[in-house]
Amino acid sequence: MALVVPQVGEGKFLELMLGKDLVEDIYLKLFTNDLTPDDDTVIGDITEASGNGYAVKTLTMANWTVTPAATTVAVYAQQIFSFTGNLGNCYGLFIVMKTTGTLLIVERFPDGPYYGSATQDIMITPRIELA
- Residue 31 has φ and ψ, to the nearest 5°, of -120, 150
Domain residue limits at 81: 7-130
Q: Give the tens place of pLDDT for each residue, 3-57.
A: 777 777 777 767 776 666 667 889 999 999 999 999 999 999 999 999 999 999 9
Bond from prior residue into 113 cis (ω within 30 degrees of 0): yes
Distance CA 95, CA 107 (A): 9
The answer to pTM > 0.75 is: yes
1 is a domain residue: no
2 is a domain residue: no
68 is a domain residue: yes
Q: How many domains does the chain have?
A: 1
Residue 83 has pLDDT above 80, yes or no: yes
Residue 14 CA to chain centroid, in angstroms?
18
